Amino acid sequence: MIWPERYCRGRWCNIRAYVILIVAIWLFVFLDTWIRPKQPERQQFGNIKTQRVTPTNKEMTCMNGTGELSSSQLVITRTHTQQCDIVATMVQRYGYKHQLSFAIGQDTSVISHDEKFRRNMGSVVPRHQPKALQYTKKQYNVLASYVRFNKPEINAVVPNATYITVIVEPSYHLQYVFNLYSVDRSLHINKYRNPLEKFMETPQMYIDKRFKFWFQLHNGQLFDLGFDDSEYRLDRVKQKIVELERELDFVLIGEYLDESLVVLKKKLCLEWKDIMYLPIRNVIPENRRYTTETLRRQILDWNAADSLLYQHFNKTLWIEIGIYGPSFQSDLFHHKTSKQRLWDDCLVARSAVNDDIKLKPNAGDFCNFLYRSEKELWKVLGNKQ
């Protein structure tokens, strides 16, 4: 009996008490669900959940302990490569997901292509702030815009950060920027069957014309990483590479992007989803590629400083893979199969004739999140600053 006998007697009295109790529970659930004020919606990319990350959050803890490097303070030093753009958008998505603040310029993706970073750069002011407000009065979690590497100045704005970058084989880099910036048109050599071959006949003569982005056509990756000596003396180049090894926490290799990302995941204690990406389009037309091994050797000799840079950090990647341990191959297999499964779920099948990357009509939120262009990501991140 749930009702005191002195107040109620008999079987029907107990039944009535049970009914009242059930109604009371139902009313409580109803009121809690429908009358409680709704929390403001934070997601701007479908149902992608966001969560603030700090060095003490459980999100920073892997099964074997905390990550080797900080993932709450990140700087990606941008080189002019497709693979670096891919990793930069990963950093942007990670920062959005974990509500990190970004140091951005008025053009968001670009602070400067040819100037080293300075904490008082006039253009390095979020768009919604008056220009008179000095950028140096605030510190941020992430820097992922284009600007030449200058660690002491960057550290004043993004303190105690993990520094990463991506480099590629120099002959590929030259072909990529040659096409990206339509160098053949700038130099009026687009009438030739292979403008790249024509450029490599007398590269210094063309460089001296100082056309737009000329600095990317001669050891452009080392230039992005802050090297200033235009003579590219061997001793100075080697000294700079030693400095970069000390200043950068990890260098990814574009030709081994998946291998690099698996190592980076472990170092930063990331989730597998954090290192997912969609396919890279082939953006180098046939007439802007090296066609012979002789021409490739010419390009490597012309970019001798970048070649030394690439050889050095390519070796360090494989040293890192050795340090990773015996699970590396199985982790790499897991990453590649997961990535392929994601592509199959997200994308319309590509053909040799049509290389376009298109989402399936029924693609999910995560597919749409990955498909967002860098420009779209910057628009969202810029509005959050």
Quick one: pLDDT band at residue 16, thresholds 50, 70, 90? low
* Conformational region of residue 94, where left means phi above 0, alpha means psi within -120 to 50, and beta covers everything else: alpha
Average pLDDT of 266-295?
Answer: 84
Quote the CA–CA distance of 340 and 347 in Å, as a whole number: 10
Quote the CA–CA distance of 110 and 126 in Å, as a whole number: 12
Q: Which is more confident, 25 or 229?
A: 229
Quick one: pLDDT band at residue 111, thresholds 50, 70, 90? confident
Q: Which is more confident, 12 or 122?
A: 12
Average pLDDT of 19-28?
Answer: 68
Q: What pLDDT was estimated at residue 37?
A: 41
Quick one: pLDDT band at residue 122, thresholds 50, 70, 90? very low
Q: What pLDDT was estimated at residue 103?
A: 84
Mean pLDDT, the chain, rounded, equals 82
- Phi and psi (nearest 5°) for 224? -60, -30
Q: What pLDDT was estimated at residue 60?
A: 42
Quick one: pLDDT band at residue 342, thresholds 50, 70, 90? very high
Quick one: pLDDT band at residue 26, thresholds 50, 70, 90? low
Which parts of the chain are beta strand (E)? 61-62, 65-66, 74-77, 102-103, 142-143, 162-167, 250-253
Nearest to 255, CA basis, from 363, 324, 167: 167
Q: What pLDDT was estimated at residue 279?
A: 85
Could you give the percent of the chain with pLDDT greater than 90?
55
Average pLDDT of 331-342?
Answer: 97
CB 358 within 8 A of CB 347: yes
Q: Which residue has the tokens 């880099």?
A: 173
Residue-wise pLDDT tens digits, 123-172: 444 444 434 333 444 788 999 988 999 999 999 999 999 999 999 999 99
Quote the CA–CA distance of 120 and 154 in Å, as a whole number: 11
- Phi and psi (nearest 5°) for 126? -50, 145
Q: What pLDDT was estimated at residue 175?
A: 93
Quote the CA–CA distance of 313 and 293 in Å, as a whole number: 23
Burial class for 227, CB neighbours closer than 10 Å (0-12, 13-18, 19+): buried
Give the distance from CA 337 to its chain's centroid: 21
Fold of 58-324: Rossmann fold (3.40.50)
Q: What pLDDT was estimated at residue 166?
A: 98
First to last CA, the chain: 62
Q: What pLDDT was estimated at residue 127?
A: 43
Instruction: Answer yes or no: pTM beyond 0.85.
Output: no
Q: What pLDDT was estimated at residue 68?
A: 79
Q: Which residue has the tokens 């490569």?
A: 81
Residue boundaries of the structural domains of the chain? 58-324
